[in-house]
Amino acid sequence: MESDSEATSSEIDAVEEVLRAVGVPEEAIEKSRRHSDPLGAFFESLPLRGAADRTVSAAEIEAAGGMPVVQSQELMRAFGLPTPGPEEAAFSPEEATALTELWRQQDVWPFEEGVQIARLYGRLMARIAQASVQQWLAVAEPRLRDSEPDVRQRTIVAAQSFDRLLPVADALLTGVHRRWVEREAAQIAVRNAEAGPAAELLRGVAEVTILFCDLKDFTAFADRQGDGAAVRIIDRFATTVMEERGEEAGLTKLLGDGFMLVYPEPAPAVQAGRRIISAMRSPGEPGVHASIHHGPAVPREGDYFGAAVNLAARLLTLAERDELLATTPVVERCEGVEWEHCGSERMRGLSDEVRVFRLRA
């Protein structure tokens, strides 16, 4: 974000009126005057404005029969957030209710398990937040600067756009989390049915080809180049997958920094995987690795579940950069394609070893 150092005193006075109108504290406004950065004042005010919605202390939660102060503090540390004081108004009423309910369910969800999940969520949410803000600064703010020369109007529009995006992001992340939990639960239900006497009751089982592909060494790249570069490579990867997947792809689903694609037969999946790997080759950037398996899968709510999906996903962990691995059912259905036998692997959840083949370049 560039400083509006060229702004005149009268322009900054006008902007400060707007900042006060949207609830920016005087402390942040004073900093904006010293640094000639009114938009920076808006961003600096966000933690202070957020704190205004947090009216409940850890001591009050404990007094109401909820999580004790010590445990509330430990949970916040696990999330990677500052440890609140016992009397500090650090939680919103909704968060206080959640902490109370979480503490009451210790018989089925021990506090120690909650801490482990908090450590995982904290790291992931921190990365999501960093990427989101950096992407906004890289895309939205320059567009506003180019399209609106007036510093006052530019600050108003930027502040309003960022303010509107925050609740949208909150709602979407909550909804996405819920959908992933639902998917994991459905996966367990299908896996249990496949393993037990209820397997014959599974509806609509279909023979499909599952292609998994994702960015190899993406985490190391993101740590080295930053979240802005990470977002750009994911965007390039997504564009490549959509362009190279072929018309036969019946499902294309983003999975973090990878994709799951479903085809009726192996041949188009193999060709799509080959094209995607080739198109993503670039020095200094993560390459792509891929895996393919053909077998029975259970369609549910526009998705696919079952052992065939799990096998294809686990096979991906064996693939190196620019490498496509496949199983025997794929190789047998792809005439004219050259494969190299890599040996047999023991896969979790399967009693027999799986023969693994590598697509020749």
pLDDT tens digits along 172-218? 888 888 888 887 787 777 776 666 655 554 566 888 999 999 999 88
Decide if pLDDT at 1 tops 50. no
> Which of helix, strand or coil describes residue 311?
helix
Max alpha carbon distance in the chain (Å)? 78
Which whole number is the average pLDDT over 48-69?
89
Residue 102 pLDDT greater than 70, yes or no: yes
Structure tokens belonging to residue 321: 């950069």
Query: Which comes out higher in pLDDT, residue 60 or 23?
Result: 60
0.85 cut: is pTM over it?
A: no
Interatomic CA distance for residues 27 and 24, integer angstroms:
8
358: Cβ–Cβ under 8 A, 6 or more apart, which residues? Answer: 323, 324, 325, 339, 340, 342
**Structural contact between residues 77 and 69, judged by C-beta atoms closer than 8 angstroms:** no
Q: Highest-confidence range of 24-33, 144-153, 322-331, by mean pLDDT?
A: 322-331
Residue 328, both tokens: 């025997």
Residue 296 contacts residue 205 (beta carbons within 8 Å): yes
| 41 within some domain | no
Residue 316 belongs to a domain: yes
Give residue 8's pLDDT band: very low, low, confident or very high (50, 70, 90): low
The confidence score (pLDDT) of residue 36 equals: 63
Q: Give a yes or no: residue 334 inside a domain.
A: yes
Q: 290: domain CATH number?
A: 3.30.70.1230
- pLDDT tens, position by position, 264-315: 999 999 999 999 999 999 888 889 999 999 998 888 777 888 888 989 999 9
In this predicted structure, the answer to whether residue 60 has a pLDDT above a threshold of 70 is: yes
Two tokens at 80?
């990677």
Average pLDDT, the chain: 84
Does residue 258 lie within any of the structural domains? yes
Q: Which residues contact 28 (CB under 8 A, 6 or more apart)?
A: 19, 41, 42, 44, 45, 48
Residue 196 CB neighbour total at 10 angstroms: 9
Distance from C-alpha of 35 to C-alpha of 16, rounded to nearest angstrom = 13
Query: For residue 11, is it within any domain?
Result: no
What's the mean pLDDT in 147-160? 74
The string over 330-356, giving b where at least 16 C-beta atoms fall within 10 Å of a residue's C-beta and e elsewhere, is bbebbeebebeeeeebebeeeeeebeb
Q: What domain count does the chain have? A: 1
If one compares 249 and 348, the residue with the highest pLDDT of the two is 249
pLDDT band at 20 (very low <50, low <70, confident <90, very high): confident
Per-residue pLDDT, averaged over 104-130, amounts to: 89
Question: CB–CB of 222/130 below 8 Å?
Answer: no
Residue 196 confidence (pLDDT) = 62
pLDDT of residue 38: 67
Answer yes or no: are the C-beta atoms of 207 and 295 closer than 8 Å: yes
Which of the pair, 310 or 28, is modelled with greater confidence?
Answer: 310
* Closest to 74 in 3D by CA, of 40, 118, 131, 27: 118
Whether 305 is in a domain gets the answer yes
List the end-to-end C-alpha distance of the chain, in Å, as a whole number: 44
Range of 323's domain? 203-359
Is 104 inside any structural domain?
A: no
What's the mean pLDDT in 229-241? 88
Least confident of 46-60, 222-236, 343-357: 343-357
**β 324-327/303-305 pair status:** unpaired
Find out whether 235 and 210 touch, Cβ atoms under 8 Å: no
For residue 150, tell me if it sits in a domain.
no
